[in-house]
Structure 1
Amino acid sequence: MSDALPLQQSPLYAAALARLGVPIRVIHGPDGPILVLMRRLPLLGQVALVSRPKGRIDAGLRKTLGARILIVNADSAEQGQVLAKQGFFRISAPRAHAHLSLAGTPSDWLSRMQGKWRNRLRHGQRQGLELRTNPMPADCNHWLFHHETAQQKARAYRNLPPALIAAMAGADPTALRLFTARKDGKICAAMLFANHENSATYLIGWSDATGRKTSAHPVLMWQAMAELHGSGVTDIDLGHCDQTRNPGLAHFKLGSGARLCPLGGTWITAPGLGLLRPRKPRVPSPPQPATAAPAQAAPRGFPAP
């Protein structure tokens, strides 16, 4: 678990949702503000979604919001355990994110990297790549989104929609930074980060055959680490890290010196869900001594007295 504020709870994310007309509320919870997405669905009624809140979630939050259904994407295993104790049901297994600390000096960053990753970085630094950093425009038709859409189809994953990313760029023109690498004047790789307070989130990474051949992504990551650190960022959320389904991407993220941080799964609470809770298995009573009176029979569905 990272102490950094997740993008989904940041003022930048809230401002982007507001620009898109998504109903949101900010509730002052026991450990600080909580950003909540509100939506009314046919048959289900008012649904509230809280993604990766920091600190405790009060059991009465659903009633406070006036929602029939409350869904929480827990930020840690500990938070998931608390939700379970409060009567929430888990509907999705926990995932893990990779978090890259920028504590210390560049020498410290290098020491935390895996050896092969450092070698790729040094290889890329010898390729004569031209590096540029630019603000990401608030344009849903930006060329990077076209590459990202093709990647999602080819690799079967999902990312934030272009409209939401563009809305973040529109909400704060300095928040999204696009790092690009050029070889012989042509863009061969790119990385997009969102800067929110003292944290940053990796949004999109793309490279073509030239970018892969020249190890452009390690070079761009190194450049991003330096520039983001210079603007006060202490922690970069590199996003979902699945070592089973996407080992190559997971190896890249963890090789950069990032640590694996398990999240807590997705949980739901709604009226009547308690009736669906499975009964605890009945534990057989120990054998009674021969001289003891026979045990009283229990009503069906109840444990023996």
Structure 2
Amino acid sequence: MDSALQQSSEFERGLLACGQAPWRGPGGLMLRRRLPLIGWHGVLSRSDVTCPDRLRTARRMGLRIVNAERAAPRILRAAGFRQILTPVHIAELPLKGDLRAAMHQKWRNRLRRAEAAGLSLRHDAWTGAPHWLIAHEVAQRDQRRYAALPVPIVAAIARETPGCARIVEAWEGTSPIAGMLILRHGARATYQVGWTSERGRALNAHCLTLFEAARWLADHGHRLLELGAIETERNPGLARFKLGTGARARALGGTWLAIPGL
């Protein structure tokens, strides 16, 4: 299956394990919750919108909001939706060919310095058990106040699909200085969690962990690594880091609201 994480069977199993009630129909996997006086309120995220009739079927099951994978304004309008937010851009790293050659020169130079720093790498599957990287991620979210997939769902995905989640760590001696968590789903993978210490930043350790993860994924048949949203105004440094890998920017399809009566 070649789809975004939000449409994958791995994601669906994680949601079910957390007690949620997703609905998979012809339009894709929809997250739903029942609201007082309103009934089912559903969100369809990262699904390829191809047919108005499929969206109408999903509307009868509670679909209210669509975060489209690609631009499909005619189809969405025909199904009674109107756009409320402009498209987000994401970074997608192709995992074929020479990964180093695709990097920007500055990014490649940072990787070389990290490789020469004498760091040790650890790379293994994660089963959802307590881990230092996840503890750092929780603290990082509290400090920076950013939204991300809840940690209990990430852990459930790892538990319910063994081998789906992998953690790459960079250590200096006996101290971890960087780490990242990747979720695998079909031919794609998604960068889900990342943390780097001050020492790790000084040694460009995150370049090393990301390159190691990308190389491993390519060797195991994955064709694309999604690095998340590109926010050039809110976080230009992170945007440059993502694009420096050789990733390509791609616009999603925007956010659309179902209008009653249409």
Q: TM-score, normalised by structure 2?
A: 0.93
Indicate if the aligned counterparts of 1:193 and 1:200 stay in contact, CA closer than 8 A: yes
Q: Residue type of the partner of 1:198?
A: A
The aligned counterpart of 1:50 is 44
Query: Which one-letter code corresponds to 1:92 in the other structure?
Result: L
* Deviation for aligned residue 1:184: 1.4
Contact 1:80 1:265 in 2 (8 A): no
The residue type equivalent to 2:109 in the other structure is N
Once the two structures are superposed, the pairs formed by residues 56-135 of structure 1 within 5 Å of their partners are: 56-59=50-53, 61-64=55-58, 66-76=60-70, 78-104=71-97, 108-135=98-125
- Deviation at 1:230? 1.2
> Which residue of structure 1 lines up, in the alignment, with residue 6 of structure 2?
8
Deviation, 1:270, is 4.0
Cα offset for 1:57?
4.2
Q: Which has the bigger relative contact order, CA under 8 A and spacing at least 6?
A: 2
Residue equivalent to 1:172: 161
Distance 1:154 1:72 in 2: 30
Q: CA deviation at 1:128?
A: 0.4
Q: Provide the residue aligned with 1:38 in structure 2.
A: 32
CA RMSD of aligned residues (A): 1.9
> Match of 2:153, SS?
helix
1:104-253 counterparts in 2 under 5 A? Answer: 104=97, 108-139=98-129, 141-253=130-242
Give yes or no for contact 1:124–1:215 (8 Å, CA) kept in 2.
yes
CA deviation digits over 1:173-210, x for unaligned, max 9?
Answer: 21100000000121110011001111100001101011
Q: SS state of the match for residue 17, structure 1?
A: helix
Q: Is the 8 A contact 1:190 1:220 kept in 2?
A: yes
Gaps of at least 5 residues in structure 2 are none
- Contact 1:135–1:176 (Cα < 8 Å) also in 2: yes
User: Are 2:255 and 1:266 equivalent residues in the alignment?
Assistant: yes
Letter matched to residue 251 of structure 2: P
Deviations 1:59-115 (A, max 9, x none): 453445633542111112x224531354312233321110000122xxx22221111
Amino acid at match of 1:222: F
Alignment CA distance shift 1:60-1:213 (3 Å): closer
Contact 1:69 1:270 in 2 (8 A): no
The one-letter amino acid paired with 1:79 is A
After TM superposition, give the deviation of residue 8 of structure 1 in Å: 0.4
Alignment-mate amino acid for residue 227 of structure 1: W
What is the distance in 2 between the residues matched to 1:200 and 1:109? 16
Percent identity between matched residues is: 38
Matched position secondary structure for 1:52: strand
Contact 1:45 1:68 in 2 (8 A): yes
| Deviations, residues 134-163 of structure 1 (Å, cap 9, x unaligned) | 211313x43222211222233332111110
Q: Would you say the 8 A contact 2:94–2:223 is kept in 1?
A: yes
TM-score when scaled to structure 1? Answer: 0.81
Question: In the alignment, is the contact (CA less than 8 A) between 1:69 and 1:268 conserved in 2?
Answer: no
Q: Matched residues in 1 for 2:74 and 2:206: separation? A: 37
